[in-house]
Amino acid sequence: MRTLIKRTLSGLVFIILMIAGLLVHPLGYAVLMSCCVGIMFVEFYRMTLGDQNKMGQVFGFFSGILLFLATYIIGRYGFEAARFWLLALLVPITAVWVSVLYNRGKDSFRNAAFLFLPLLYIALPFSIFNFLAFNPLGMFQGIYLLALFIILWASDIGGYLIGMAFGQKNGHKLFPSISPKKSWEGFFGSLVFSQGIAFALFKLDMMPFAWYHCVLLALIICIFGVIGDLTESGMKRYFGVKDTGSIMPGHGGLLDRFDGALISFPIAIAYILFVFYI
């Protein structure tokens, strides 16, 4: 019971912070997302590198933050205003390579992959968020990004509830070599919940698209969200960790919360931008 209470409370705090950051003010959004990127970098490096090449980890951390902030400036003020941020990004990235050269560990160059991987896996997806959070005129429209999160959360809830009810004992395993608890029943529960919430958001005018585009977006988020979840589960299994962190009691780390968004949202946002360019 205490675990359930902790899980519920930490989940509520997370949702409240996300809603506030995505609706109140663009600066609040920038602070919230920058913190999320930084925390996930720390979690990733702790899981993959531990104490190896700490200096490289520091420079990698700042590279991720700068990449997000540069695209935030591009989205809000235009490319011209972000050119110095983009130039500044070259400094920590170069410093990462220098740290690899000076690192005397026998696996220093193999570990260099883990120094740079979160730039693609974490910072780049969050940077793409900025191109939906701001329209071409630089106006903040975090409500659209929030709508994607609501669909993803509904997908997770549907997968959990239906999976627990029908997939745990006699269900059909989805990907047992990576995540033994995930079932096809849970996957179809995710599909149903995500579609239902997407239609509700369409009716509430939180998604300014035709209903069939909302259906396709929910399908993208559900399918690629599951792929993102399995990808992170595979990494945790490879490195022998249960959770990537402990910042959210009962849930684990932020990587455990954003795993589905890291792969599904860039694809969903690319779809939105190519079809509508809102």
Please list, in sequence order, all residues whose beta carbon lies within 8 angstroms of the beta carbon of residue 265, skipping any fewer than 6 positions away. Answer: 125, 128, 129, 148, 152, 221
Each as own residue / partner, the long-range contacts of residues 1-10 (CB below 8 Å, 24 or more positions apart, any chain) are 3/250, 4/250, 6/249, 6/250, 7/249, 7/250, 7/251, 8/250, 9/249, 10/248, 10/249, 10/250, 10/251
Number of CB atoms found within 10 A of residue 67's CB: 22
Place of tokens 């490195």: 239
- Give me the residue spans of the domains in the chain: 26-139, 142-278
What is the Cα–Cα distance from 265 to 145, expressed in whole angstroms? Answer: 9
What is the Cα–Cα distance from 112 to 92, expressed in whole angstroms? Answer: 14
Per-residue confidence (pLDDT) for residue 246, from 0 to 100: 79
Per-residue confidence (pLDDT) for residue 96, from 0 to 100: 94
255 touches 232 (CB < 8 A): yes
Mean pLDDT in each 10-residue stretch from start to end of the chain (278 residues)?
71 90 95 96 95 94 97 94 90 93 82 94 97 93 95 92 80 81 88 94 89 94 95 92 82 90 96 80
Q: Where are the beta strands (DSSP E) in the chain?
A: 173-175, 179-183
Please list, in sequence order, all residues whose beta carbon lies within 8 angstroms of the beta carbon of residue 111, skipping any fewer than 6 positions away. Answer: 49, 52, 53, 100, 103, 105
47 touches 121 (CB < 8 A): no
Per-residue confidence (pLDDT) for residue 49, from 0 to 100: 93
Total-model pTM: 0.93
What is the Cα–Cα distance from 120 to 42, expressed in whole angstroms? Answer: 15
What is the Cα–Cα distance from 217 to 263, expressed in whole angstroms? Answer: 13
Residue 146, CA atoms < 13 Å, CB-side half-sphere: 19
